Amino acid sequence: MPRSHTVALSGLEQYTSMKIHEYQARALLAGADIPVPDGDMVTTVQDAVAAAERLSADGPPVMVVKAQVHAGGRGKAGFVKVVRTVDEVREAAEFMLGNRMVSPQTPPEGLEVDRLLVAAGVDIEREIYLAITTDRNRRTNTLIASAEGGVEIEQVAAERPDAILSVPMHPLDGLCPFQARDLAFALGLQGRQVRQFTTLAMNLARLFMESDASLAEINPLVVTPATDDAPDGQVIAIDAKFNFDDNALFRQQAIAELFDPKEEDPDELRAREAGLSFVALDGDIGCLVNGAGLAMSTMDIIKLHGGAPANFLDVGGDASQEAVTEAFRIILAEASVKGVLVNIFGGIMQCDRIARAIVAAAEEVGFEVPLVVRLEGTNVDAAREVLAEAQERLPTMRTATDLGDAARQVCAAVA
């Protein structure tokens, strides 16, 4: 999974969501009566060929071969290929399964591709962008759409924000039919396209709510050229991206089962197994904090003092000593970490427990990098004694008097 680059509240969605593959998202769309082309997920060239033979058995064979990875920009990277013959499907499958995909949304070394979608292709009259996500400023779920969908949508959004339309959804009623219809007209849809789009948007809004999604994106939603059967063309989804609220997965069994551990950052996965909330970032100061709010403010104060956090890590209100030790292992396993800041407020969590965990972790893995510890709250005096007693065995450790002092010390230590 690509490393997260920014820590902004508006981008918080990506840290608290579970992603799924396009082929899984297409199945959800189909289940919600949203038209998607027929297709198969395959993991071998042989199965890709079999899928192509099935899809081209009758009818004009436009097919599309698509890498299934949790990153966009596949089209421009050459990992979405529109082809016309079974041989071309074989060639595309060999290429995609044999090469790593590199796009602006992947790490520089790219992502390995082990699944493909081989689907019926469609002729495209126009490409529309349609998504639903939560607008945190407005505190509502919001439909976002653009008449200029497709692979250039990021550029459109950056250069001409007025080309992006947004329609807030009512918290209880959801999307209203008149809103969907207005949006259809605003997108320039005509004739029977309006009804098709309205139904589709209503179905998407319902699916978004019922599945506890945090993002439902169709880009592109296409209008196909007119035919005898469909004189105004058809409105069809040919790409889909869904994220789900992690905190709702307990009541979304079927969605939770779509989780693909291979697409996750290995450290984040390890942390999840230990019950820690951990997000890897690009900086060099490892952070071990209890409470998400305190973790956010710890990152802010590191930034304020000119440093850059290497991670977000919340060990939780009542983490066990083992979980804390595991947290240190995860932080210290990262070669980029040049210093560690521990910031604990002992409410439920007792400071002496953290202090003992620091000592235990140090004895196990060894702290070679500077370690700055700021503890406050329950049992803080006992904790200071534990640390003072261990100081000799932990030569790189310093204690801080308060959070500002801690941030200053750790930033100076890694500078």
Decide if 334 is catalytic: no
Q: Does 230 bind ligand GDP (CB under 6 A)?
A: no
Q: How far apart are alpha carbons 344 and 135 in whole angstroms?
A: 32
CB atoms within 10 A of CB 80: 20
> Nearer Cβ to ligand GDP, position 61 or 309?
61
Decide if 159 is catalytic: no
Which residues inside 166-225 make contact with Mn ion, applying CB under 5 A? 219
> Nearer Cβ to Mn ion, position 217 or 263?
217
Among 239, 267, 314, 352, binds Mn ion (CB under 5 A): 239
Q: How far apart are alpha carbons 11 and 178 in whole angstroms?
A: 30
Q: How far apart are alpha carbons 2 and 53 in whole angstroms?
A: 35
Residue nearest to Mn ion (CB): 239
Give the CA-trace dihedral at 398, 381, 403, 405, to 10 degrees. Answer: -40
Which of the stretches 46-54, 88-96, 116-124, 368-376 binds ligand GDP when contact is defined by CB under 6 A? 116-124
Q: How far apart are alpha carbons 94 and 49 in whole angstroms?
A: 10
> Nearer Cβ to Mn ion, position 154 or 385?
154
- Which of 22, 127, 217, 326 does the annotation list as catalytic? 217
Shortest Cβ 118–ligand GDP spacing (Å): 11
DSSP symbol at 271? H
DSSP symbol at 151? T
Shortest Cβ 132–ligand GDP spacing (Å): 17
The number of helices, as runs of H, and strands, as runs of E, in the chain is 14, 17
Q: Does 127 bind ligand GDP (CB under 6 A)?
A: yes
Q: Does 78 bind ligand GDP (CB under 6 A)?
A: no
Which of the stretches 48-56, 75-83, 166-174, 330-338 binds ligand GDP when contact is defined by CB under 6 A? 75-83
CB atoms within 10 A of CB 92: 26
Residue nearest to ligand GDP (CB): 75
Q: Does 233 bind ligand GDP (CB under 6 A)?
A: no
Contact by Cβ (8 Å): 328, 274 = no
Among 217, 232, 239, 263, binds ligand GDP (CB under 6 A): 239
Contact by Cβ (8 Å): 394, 363 = no
Q: Does 122 bind ligand GDP (CB under 6 A)?
A: yes
The residue assigned the tokens 């801080």 is 400
Shortest Cβ 79–Mn ion spacing (Å): 11
Among 72, 286, 307, 339, binds ligand GDP (CB under 6 A): 72
The residue assigned the tokens 């060099």 is 284
Is the torsion defined by CA of 211, 215, 220, 221 positive or negative? positive
Q: Does 151 bind ligand GDP (CB under 6 A)?
A: yes
Q: Does 2 bind ligand GDP (CB under 6 A)?
A: no
Shortest Cβ 72–ligand GDP spacing (Å): 5
Contact by Cβ (8 Å): 209, 169 = no
> How distant is the alpha carbon of residue 59 from its chain centre?
38
Burial of 292 (0-12, 13-18, 19+ CB in 10 A): middle
Q: Does 22 bind Mn ion (CB under 5 A)?
A: no
Catalytic residue set = 129, 217
The residues of the shown chain that bind ligand GDP, judged by CB under 6 A, are 64, 66, 72-75, 80, 82, 121-122, 124, 127, 150-151, 219-220, 238-239
